Amino acid sequence: METKRTQDLPQANARRRTAAEHKTHKRLRLVGGALAGKRITSGRGETTRPMMEKVRKAVFDMMMSFAGGNPSFLEGTRWLDLFAGTGSVGLEALSRGAAHCQFIELDPWVINNVLSPNIESCGASDSTVIHSGKAEAFLQRARDATHFSSKPFDYISVCPPYLLVSYEELFDLLSTSPLLHSGSVVFVEYPQSASKIIPDTLGPLALLRDRKYGRTQVAIYGPYED
């Protein structure tokens, strides 16, 4: 079955690429779950800029620790992968037992040449939806029209291209989003230059961890800890 895809969000023109960025490679791997070790497609250059494998593993390990170390903590959950790119984060979640993932990706070339092939190669077509458009527009629409999404997500990953987004806008949209519930877990990858604007709360959620990995930092939000 072909992956479901929506095109009801405004579609912006993709930025120009060099010849090298039109090429792909398969150096990126999933690191856990049923598909651990599987290589997936990534664009060369800055086309997709996926989360580093060691960071992805560390984040999933931290989320498992929040669940008391239960390796099945993702079973049956719903995942939202904003700024999806390769889809590595959402596919990692599906590999580890998530039941459903929605991917938000702006660039049509990335969707057609990277994201969709990765979903298909992982056998995840029946449990995924691709939304073609801006992540900010998706969040805005969900906030303005609550029927847009059938129900909130258990996990949301936010791994944007650092220099092309407003973190203030993203945190504002997330903090008032009906896509969150009181038990959701959200993680946001951000550059050190944005560290001063990282809020202590995100809607009903508290900042649980804020970790540095080289030039990258990751803030994880979830239910308040006792």
| Residue 26 belongs to domain with CATH number | 3.40.50.150
**Of the candidates 149, 45, 189, which has an alpha carbon nearest to the alpha carbon of residue 107?**
45
> Which residues span the domain enclosing 39?
4-222
Query: Per-residue confidence of the chain (226 residues) as pLDDT tens digits?
Result: 345 665 544 334 444 444 445 688 888 999 999 999 999 999 865 545 678 899 999 999 999 999 999 999 999 999 999 999 999 999 999 999 999 999 999 999 999 999 999 999 999 999 999 999 999 999 999 988 866 655 899 999 999 988 889 999 999 999 999 999 999 999 999 999 999 999 999 999 999 999 999 888 999 999 987 6
So what's the pLDDT on residue 25? 83
Task: Tell me the pTM.
Answer: 0.88
CA–CA separation, 139 and 172 (whole Å): 10
Rounded alpha-carbon distances, angstroms, from residue 171 to 87, 154, 203, 205, 215: 21, 17, 9, 12, 20
Domain count across the chain: 1
